[in-house]
Amino acid sequence: MHDLASVARGRRIELGLTQAELASRSGVSRDWVNSFERGKRTVEISLVFRLFDALGIGVEATDASAIGDAPDRPPNLDAFLDGYHKR
């Protein structure tokens, strides 16, 4: 969750938005945005998707075996984030 929060925070800053402005666009509270950006581990994923949508960040689910990760290991978020930052 910390990695996702870092991506969201970076994009918010790139767009020049305050936490309050992003909260308004996403339909969440500023306190929620603040908690998420600090890496709170227990957030509702649907709210994360709403926040990402407001930031123009797409989320794609891929079969882990198709990208080389073993199915019994967690997905490689570093590779995902590297791809995001290179766009």
Q: What is the DSSP letter of 34?
A: H
Tell me the pLDDT tens digit for each residue of 3-13: 899 999 999 99
Provide mean pLDDT across the span 3-28. 96
Residue pLDDT, tens place only, 27-71: 999 999 999 999 888 889 999 999 999 999 998 888 777 666 555
Please tell me the pTM assigned to this model. Answer: 0.69
The fold for domain 2-85 equals 434 Repressor (Amino-terminal Domain) (1.10.260)
Domain residue limits, the chain? 2-85
For Cα atoms 21, 84, 2, give the angle at the middle one, nearest 5 degrees.
Answer: 65
